[in-house]
Structure formats: structure tokens, C-alpha cells
């Protein structure tokens, strides 16, 4: 029994139509974690689909709950020999809201539909399609070799689209139960549709509000303009002190000391391309001297997500009483996440803006993570995927976006290797979410080969 046979088994899962029919059933379950009415469906997804599938592969399944979680967690374990390495798998069965009314004619979020070589449906890429591919790639290896040759712990959560409440706490409380060596999981997009991709972490993110409330109510700009401070002007200057006219960050605590050589080398052949519908990159935006890939995967970025002063819909002749902006910093490993807001406050005082209130109430916040691109498991994974697909995978030190990878990297202490099975144009989180069918087949190929290789003696030490 050989590697090629394991890959053929995985490809047959696609070619025979079984992946499509399995995924159709999963997509038909409206597991919207942001919709409280769907709570029963969240449990059903695990009990009716994931548990039977994993049990049929010899996994021992346990449902875990946490008081602050949106839905249950399923931990499935298959321990062949405690002395073998343990791979940690992760996926989420919940989806973002369906937005039923906004899908194109003839498409529905809850019915998998094939059109022009794409599979449409909510969750086909985020994340049902991705974990069902991985679990069935494990199955193909088991069917071929009779065993995996390593241990697996697979965690499926049902609250990721609501910010994974309880996941962090659960991992902290269950460190022993979740103990493993390497995370190999799939979520998010490839660099582009054609190119298999591996990413090793995620940028961190902190979202915060800047606001100035100068006084109550607006005052006539003819009678009072010139003697009342204008919060809109003050806020515009404050933002200008944070970033240059070309978007370069001006707070030194917010940018890394340097771009590490391993990161620069990893992204040297990565071209950012949003496809025909993607935006045109502004080459002179951001940190001078960096390529677009270095900027997104190796550096930090600051954006103003929204801002307001006065009444934009119906402007009046008045000095506005207040101004507000919601801002965001995306940051890489090396930035002290705890110091991002204190550094901002120091900066604002130093530049003469003591009137600005900085608030992070309830905002999104993830730490930055990145496994060393030179780790032996990274090289091993890249070589395995190249051998199976005949394509040189893109290596991204971290995703430009954010995901709670710090839970796995920092709390569970895992090496984190992500192999995404989607692409930037997939409309995840929007109407018409879809998976190009050829990616599904290539992903099964790559994952079956990778799981096969992990069960061989040539795998790296843990």
C-alpha cells in the first residue's frame, strides 16, 4: 500500500461525488452562530454529522461545553501510540449569517449549487468544506495504511463567527487533554486560487475609538467659528500624527525593528493578486521600500475604519461639538500588544492632543503569532505538498488577517501550520460564498499526501 494509493483514495472521494453530497448535507444545516434561534442546529452539526464521521474512523469523541461559549465543542481523539507525534486538527462548524435575500438569482446559502465549476453555499469554504476535506483525507490514509502512524486530536467549535467565546478559556483549562505537538488545520484563503499555500500564524489586531467631545451641541459657525475649537480639525491632525500622508505609521512602538530575513525570503515569490474583481494596489502606500507582500505579511498597518463629525447627511453652519473615528492596527510578531494603546496615549499627549479619548471597549483583539519559517515541520509540509500537487506552495509567515491562532501557539504551545483550501475571491462572509471545485480536489490530494508522510519514519522530530 503506497502514498499514491492514499492520494487516489482521497481523489476518489471527490471524483465519485461523495464530497459534494456530504458537503451538501452540511451546508443545508443553517449553523449561524450569531443567530440565537440556531442554537439547536449548532449541537446537531456535531451530533448528527461530525461525531458519526469521526467515530467511524476510530476516534473517541467527547462533547465539551463552556459557560461563555455559543455552542458545544467536539474533541475527537485517535491515539495509536503515545510515543508517536500528536497532530492537532481544528475546524469550525458554525457559519456567518446566511444573508439569504442577497444571493444571486437561483442561489441559496443553504443549498449547495454547482455553477461554472464552483460550489456555492454558506460554509463551503468557511469552514465546513475545509474540515470535511481534512477529515476525509485522514480517512483515505487510514483506508490505505490501516493506521495513521501518528495520533490525532481534532477540535471542532461552533462559535468562531461570534469570536470563539470560551475557546481560549477551554484551552487554558484543558491543557492536558489538548496536549499535542503540531497544529495542522485549514481555514482562510490561499495566496491565490491556483497556488497551494501554507501560513504559520496571523497578524494581531487591535480596534479602538478616538473621540473628542468639546462641548454640548453645535454653535453657529459665523458667530462662534474662530473662537471655539473644532474637534473635526483636531481629530484630523491627531490621525495625521499617527500616519503619514502615504500611510506610513509614525508611532515607533507600532512597527517592528526590522523585517526578519526568513520572512523576507518566504514572501519573495508571493504576488498579491485579488483577481479580476480585486482592487488595484497603491504601490507607494504604507512603509516605504517594502513590496506589497512584505507590507501585508511582514509589517503592520493602520487604518481608519470610519469617522464622523457634525451631521454628514445634512451639514449645517455650525462648529461641530464632537468628532469620532474607529481605527485599527494590524500588527506582526515583535510588537508588544499590551503596549499598543499605552504607546498611542503617550504619542497623543506628546503631540498636543490631550483632549482625545481612546477607548477599546468590547473591541476586537487578537495577538500576533508566527511559527519560525525555518522550522523543520514547515520545510517538511512544503515538500510534501509540492510532491503531491506538483506545485511549489506559497509560504506566508502569517496571514494578513487575524484568527485566534495565539490560543494554539501560545496557550497550547503548538507549532501552527495552516493549509488553507479557499481563495481571496471566495465571498466568505458575503452573499455567494463559493469554492472552486478544482481547489477541493487539489486540497484532498495535498492533505492525503501530507497525512501519509506524517505517518512515515522520515517525519521531523517533535
Instruction: Determine the interface stretch with Zn ion among 120-128, 330-338, 400-408, 417-425 (rule: CB under 5 A).
Output: 120-128
The footprint of Zn ion on residues 139-198 (CB under 5 A) is: none
Span from 44-52, 64-72, 126-134, 291-299 in contact with Zn ion (CB under 5 A):
126-134
Beta-bridged to residue 98, according to DSSP, are none
As measured in angstroms, the least distance from the Cβ of 159 to Zn ion is 11
Question: What are residue 86's phi and psi, to 5 degrees?
Answer: -115, 125
3-state class of 203 per DSSP?
coil
Task: Report yes or no: 96 and 32 within 8 Å, Cβ to Cβ.
Answer: yes
Classify strands 357-359 and 204-213 as parallel, antiparallel or unpaired.
antiparallel
Shortest distance, position 234 Cβ to Zn ion, whole Å: 37
**Quick one: 45 or 451, whose CB is closer to Zn ion?**
45
Of the candidate spans 122-130, 310-318, 351-359, 376-384, the one that interacts with Zn ion by CB under 5 A turns out to be: 122-130
CA diameter of the chain? 88
- Pair 455, 142: CB distance under 8 Å: no
| Local structure of 115: helix, strand or coil | strand
Nearest to Zn ion of 163, 247 (CB atom): 163
Sole binder of Zn ion in the list 126, 157, 287, 433 (CB under 5 A) = 126
The H or E element containing residue 386 is helix 376-389
| Phi, psi angles (nearest 5°) of residue 113 | -125, 130
State in angstroms the smallest separation of the CB of 201 from Zn ion. Answer: 17
Report how many residues bind Zn ion under the rule CB under 5 A: 1
Q: Is 148 helix (H, G, I), strand (E, B) or coil?
A: coil
Task: Using DSSP bridges, classify how beta strands 86-92 and 182-185 pair: parallel, antiparallel or unpaired.
Answer: parallel
Cα separation of 40 and 205, whole Å? Answer: 32
Taking the complex as a whole, the smallest distance from the CB of residue 188 to Zn ion amounts, in Å, to: 8
Judged by CB under 5 A, the stretch of 9-17, 118-126, 148-156, 263-271 that binds Zn ion is 118-126
When asked if residue 94 is in the footprint of Zn ion (CB under 5 A), the reply is: no
Q: Which is nearer to Zn ion, 126 or 453 (CB)?
A: 126
Nearer to Zn ion, 95 or 446 (CB): 95
What are the C-alpha distances in Å from 129 to residues 135, 155, 443?
Answer: 10, 15, 10
The 252-291 contact track toward Zn ion, x by CB under 5 A, reads ----------------------------------------
Chain contacts with Zn ion (rule: CB under 5 A): 126
Amino acid at each position: 500500500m503506497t502514498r499514491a494509493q492514499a492520494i487516489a483514495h482521497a481523489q476518489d472521494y471527490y471524483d465519485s461525488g461523495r464530497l459534494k453530497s456530504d458537503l451538501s448535507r452540511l451546508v443545508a444545516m443553517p449553523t449561524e452562530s450569531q443567530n440565537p434561534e440556531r442554537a439547536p442546529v449548532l449541537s446537531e452539526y456535531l451530533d448528527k454529522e461530525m461525531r458519526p464521521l469521526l467515530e467511524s474512523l476510530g476516534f473517541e469523541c467527547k462533547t465539551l461545553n463552556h459557560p461563555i461559549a455559543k455552542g458545544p465543542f467536539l474533541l475527537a481523539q485517535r491515539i495509536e501510540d503515545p510515543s508517536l507525534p500528536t497532530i492537532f486538527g481544528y475546524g469550525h462548524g458554525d457559519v456567518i449569517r446566511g444573508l439569504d435575500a442577497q444571493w444571486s438569482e437561483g442561489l441559496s446559502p443553504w443549498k449547495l449549487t454547482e455553477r461554472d465549476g464552483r460550489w456555492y453555499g454558506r460554509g463551503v469554504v468557511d469552514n465546513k468544506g475545509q474540515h470535511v476535506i481534512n477529515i476525509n483525507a485522514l480517512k483515505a490514509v487510514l483506508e490505505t495504511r490501516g493506521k495513521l502512524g501518528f495520533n490525532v486530536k481534532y477540535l471542532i467549535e461552533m462559535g468562531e463567527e461570534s469570536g470563539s467565546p470560551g475557546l481560549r478559556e477551554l484551552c487554558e483549562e484543558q491543557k492536558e487533554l489538548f496536549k499535542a505537538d503540531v497544529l495542522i488545520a485549514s481555514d482562510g484563503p490561499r495566496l491565490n486560487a491556483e497556488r497551494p499555500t501554507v501560513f504559520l500564524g496571523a497578524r494581531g489586531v487591535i480596534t479602538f475609538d478616538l473621540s473628542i467631545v468639546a462641548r454640548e451641541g453645535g454653535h453657529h459657525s459665523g458667530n462662534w467659528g474662530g473662537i471655539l475649537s473644532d474637534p473635526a480639525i483636531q481629530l484630523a491632525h491627531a490621525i495625521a500624527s499617527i500616519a503619514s500622508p502615504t500611510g506610513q505609521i509614525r508611532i515607533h512602538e507600532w512597527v517592528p525593528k526590522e523585517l526578519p530575513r526568513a520572512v523576507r525570503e518566504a514572501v519573495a515569490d508571493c504576488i498579491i493578486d485579488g483577481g479580476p474583481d480585486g482592487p488595484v494596489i497603491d504601490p507607494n502606500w504604507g512603509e516605504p521600500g517594502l513590496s506589497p507582500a512584505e507590507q501585508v505579511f511582514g509589517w503592520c498597518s493602520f487604518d481608519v475604519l470610519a469617522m464622523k463629525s457634525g451631521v454628514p447627511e445634512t451639514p449645517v453652519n455650525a462648529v461641530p461639538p464632537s468628532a469620532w473615528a474607529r481605527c485599527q492596527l494590524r500588527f506582526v510578531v515583535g510588537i508588544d500588544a499590551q503596549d499598543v494603546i499605552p504607546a498611542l496615549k503617550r504619542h497623543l499627549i506628546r503631540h498636543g492632543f490631550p483632549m482625545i479619548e481612546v477607548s477599546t471597549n468590547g473591541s476586537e483583539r487578537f495577538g500576533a503569532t508566527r511559527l519560525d519559517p525555518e522550522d523543520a515541520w514547515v520545510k517538511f509540509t512544503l515538500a510534501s505538498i509540492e510532491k503531491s500537487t506538483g506545485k511549489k506552495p506559497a509560504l506566508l509567515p502569517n496571514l494578513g488577517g487575524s484568527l485566534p491562532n495565539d490560543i494554539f501557539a501560545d496557550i497550547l504551545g503548538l507549532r501552527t501550520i495552516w493549509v488553507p483550501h479557499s481563495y481571496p475571491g471566495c465571498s466568505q462572509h458575503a452573499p455567494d460564498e463559493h469554492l472552486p471545485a478544482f481547489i477541493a480536489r487539489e486540497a484532498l490530494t495535498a492533505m492525503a499526501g501530507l497525512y501519509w508522510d506524517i505517518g512515515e519514519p522520515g517525519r521531523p522530530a517533535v
